[in-house]
Structure 1
Amino acid sequence: KEHKSLPDTPPPPFHLLISFPSLSPRVIMGISEDIESLRERVKREPDDANVLHTLGAALCSAAGEPREGLVFLRRALEAGSDVPAEVLNDIGLAHMALKDYAAALESFRSGIQQNPSFLPLRVNAGNALRYTNDHAGAMVEYREAAKLNPADVAVLSNLGSTLAFLGQSAEAKDCFEKVLEKEPKNAVALLKLGEIAEESDDPDGAIKLLEKALKQNPSEPRVHFALGQAYEKKANVARAIASYRKAVELDQHAFDWFLALGVLQYHSGFIEDSVQSFERASELDPSHANTHNHLGIAYQALQQQQAALSHFTRAVELDSGHAAGVANLGHVLDDMGLYEEAVERFLRAVRLDGTQASWYKKMGVSYTHLEQFDKAVDAFYTGLAIDERDATIHYNVAAAYGKQAKLPPAAFHAQLCVECDPDLAPGRSMCDMLRPHVKDADIAAFKPQYEGRLQLLRAKYEAEAARREAEAKAREDREAAAQKERKELSEQKMLERAAAERKRAEEEAK
């Protein structure tokens, strides 16, 4: 039986955009004032734009009531505030709190028209664009903010995060190094520099930076996950698994992290643990076909065929074009002795993706069990057209010819089996068994027939390769889009945590 491995493709490193909101002076003033006293002042002075602005800002920030705050902020604008850009900035922040990013962006841009040099407006416009997935637009706004104040930590952090997300690692690294010059213990900068180092194949440097970040913020799950990626790259499985486990303990809704943990556990031989991780990922996203495919593979490794069958079936129900799921369904049906059903699944799988030699091989094995030897040989030869050096295919085609008493081709393939893998004991035994009964001339005479057949199959395979590649690319794009959406949600959670931490620090400083 062929050992099936999970695809060794854990999710790519997350580029979390830590978008720090930039507060106006009026917001900071409002935080320190008693809201009830401000309400009383508004009753006495209902048209005082400054009082209205301060109350609206306080409700949005300190009280966490952005809807009510918006009412007073709009009244401040209507009352003729002497700082309309600041009011528009705070209106935008209220819309951000309400997750109405289009309205927020409109307010920030109106404020920029009023006062192009007011730094918070540029920063917050970038944040709003980031939330609407316009990262290139966000980068433009952050660059404009950097022109106004190139040493501002929030500006550098937001710009660096956006650059990292867009793959401009060198410039992102420069931004975060400038942050560390001003704040050597800045946890976000340490995290982002650690991620950049890990992506640059410097896991040792990444671990050093991430350990520093961990000292500053031991409860940030993203740091633990990034550490896991770095340790995995160093093949330190124990530390990688421990870091991943801590990450998902701190954030139990990170679907991709549970998936990455399960893949590493499976490859490391912790099959039962991988099942638990995949099950949790499936709870978080029941409609993710590949998670069910992973679960099926893990259960099959545990010899729990019915569970494997159930998950492979579910994977295909969720995504009828999931070629690996269809093929794995064929695998488990073959193992259960349901050979006709297995053949049906393999035929469907190779129609979806005909690039996998192992699927043709397994199809040939199922045909052999059904004693349909000609079809078995056809399947094996198609597999050889893809991977001629697969010794196990040569072994199986030799066995199929042998069952038909076609000894020269059987001996020919047994010989190739040994040439491809001298350590494959069954191949050596078959070769030793057949050689006394077949002349060398008969073996040599079969070679042109073999080469001609393989050449025809390769031509057919290459003609369909472009179409299959396009279909595979479409699948990858769909998966990437889904993963990006999940990443955006994870980024938003960390953004909110970072903003809350900065707000707490500003309140304490005040």
Structure 2
Amino acid sequence: MNYLEQGIQYMQEEKYEEAAQQFVQAIDENPTEPLGYVNFGNLLLHMNDHERAERFFKKAIEVDEQAATAYYGLGNVYYEQQQYQKAQQPFQQAIQKGLEESDAYYMLGLSFLYEEHFKLAIPYLQRATELDKEDAEKKFQYGLCLAQVSELDMAMETFQSVLELDPSHSDAHYNLGVSHLYKEQPQEALSHFDKAIELNPEHMLAAHAKGQVEEAIGKQE
């Protein structure tokens, strides 16, 4: 087991000081190899030391401009500080440099979503779900984005697929309820609001929506 492998194992065991020592050894042994800097950056990011993590990811890029994981790490530094616009470029660069992984597309999609650039977010979130078909949360965020641009049928289909993966996903039920309201289907909406509340009794949005729908139905009777 080399220094990097040992450091990663220590990270997984939450032995962060030991992990740091191994990554320092890896960097000292091979200072022109970007992975030592990337892994040390990941460790610092995990410890919420954003300033030093940024420096290590930038050093990895300086050593190797093709180090896709370094760009991805740098994007995460900015994303975790809610600098979503700043995060977009390194996430895009990570993908351009060959990081064809679901998480890279997902994080780029989220960085557009939280800036409310929903149409820009959709293709990246869609690609994230294609690369990781079993991740309910990625599908849910994709569904939210579709709903924001009024693609209701596709959004509802996506929320249903979320529930197939995770039947306890109360937010998927809530958003299905909202979608049914837009389609003027109050009874179907109510059933999803009820299910959301059953799954999460603290779901205030579902409780509020349920009350409004019941009030509207009462006035019609």
TM interval, shorter chain, is 0.7 to 0.9
Distance 1:202 1:213 in 2: 17
Q: Which residue of 1 aligns with 2:9?
A: 125
Q: Look up the equivalent residue of 1:160 and give its one-letter code.
A: G
**Contact kept in structure 2, 1:207 and 1:230, CA below 8 Å:** yes
Residue 41 of structure 2 aligns to a residue whose secondary structure is helix
**Contact kept in structure 1, 2:7 and 2:20, CA below 8 Å:** no
Q: Which residue of 2 aligns with 1:146?
A: 23
Distance 1:166 1:308 in 2: 43
Distance 1:235 1:320 in 2: 29
Q: Which residue of 2 aligns with 1:273?
A: 154
2:213 aligned with 1:335, yes or no? no
Distance 1:297 1:234 in 2: 22
Cα separation, partners in 2 of 1:140 and 1:254, compared to 1, 3 Å: same
User: Superposition RMSD on alpha carbons, in Å?
Assistant: 2.6
Distance 2:140 2:49 in 1: 27
**Contact kept in structure 2, 1:142 and 1:158, CA below 8 Å:** no
Taking the TM superposition and a 5 Å limit, the aligned residue runs for 1:104-503 are 119=3, 122-129=6-13, 134=14, 137=15, 139-150=16-27, 151=31, 153-200=34-81, 202-217=83-98, 219-337=100-218
The structure having more radius of gyration, on CA atoms, is: 1
**Contact kept in structure 1, 2:102 and 2:127, CA below 8 Å:** yes
Cα separation, partners in 2 of 1:237 and 1:121, compared to 1, 3 Å: closer
Distance 1:176 1:156 in 2: 6
Q: Write the deviation string for residues 95-121 of structure 1: whole angstroms up to 9, x where unpaired.
A: xxxxxxxxxxxxxxxxxxxxxxxx357
Distance 2:5 2:43 in 1: 17
**Contact kept in structure 2, 1:145 and 1:155, CA below 8 Å:** no
**Contact kept in structure 2, 1:123 and 1:155, CA below 8 Å:** no
Cα separation, partners in 2 of 1:280 and 1:128, compared to 1, 3 Å: same
Residue 167 of structure 1 aligns to a residue whose secondary structure is coil
Unaligned runs of 5+ in 2: none
Distance 2:128 2:195 in 1: 28
Distance 2:80 2:64 in 1: 24
**Contact kept in structure 2, 1:177 and 1:189, CA below 8 Å:** yes
Q: Which residue of 2 aligns with 1:358?
A: none
Q: Look up the equivalent residue of 1:141 and give its one-letter code.
A: E
Offset of residue 185 of structure 1: 0.8
Distance 2:74 2:84 in 1: 11
Q: Write the deviation string for residues 224-260 of structure 1: whole angstroms up to 9, x where unpaired.
A: 1122123334443222111111111111122222222
**Contact kept in structure 1, 2:119 and 2:149, CA below 8 Å:** no
Taking the TM superposition and a 5 Å limit, the aligned residue runs for 1:91-102 are none
**Contact kept in structure 2, 1:296 and 1:309, CA below 8 Å:** yes
Distance 1:120 1:321 in 2: 44
**Contact kept in structure 2, 1:198 and 1:229, CA below 8 Å:** no
Distance 1:261 1:169 in 2: 28
- Identity, in percent, stands at 23
Distance 1:324 1:204 in 2: 29
Distance 1:199 1:123 in 2: 23
**Contact kept in structure 1, 2:10 and 2:19, CA below 8 Å:** yes
**Contact kept in structure 2, 1:241 and 1:261, CA below 8 Å:** yes
Q: Look up the equivalent residue of 2:19 and give its one-letter code.
A: Y
Unaligned runs of 5+ in 1: 1-22, 25-118, 340-368, 371-510
- After TM superposition, the structure 1 stretch with the greater mean CA deviation from structure 2, 195-204 or 212-221, is 195-204
Cα separation, partners in 2 of 1:333 and 1:243, compared to 1, 3 Å: same
Cα separation, partners in 2 of 1:324 and 1:212, compared to 1, 3 Å: closer
Taking the TM superposition and a 5 Å limit, the aligned residue runs for 1:68-83 are none
- After TM superposition, the structure 1 stretch with the greater mean CA deviation from structure 2, 308-317 or 149-158, is 149-158
Distance 1:209 1:322 in 2: 36
Q: Write the deviation string for residues 392-444 of structure 1: whole angstroms up to 9, x where unpaired.
A: xxxxxxxxxxxxxxxxxxxxxxxxxxxxxxxxxxxxxxxxxxxxxxxxxxxxx
Q: Which residue of 2 aligns with 1:443?
A: none
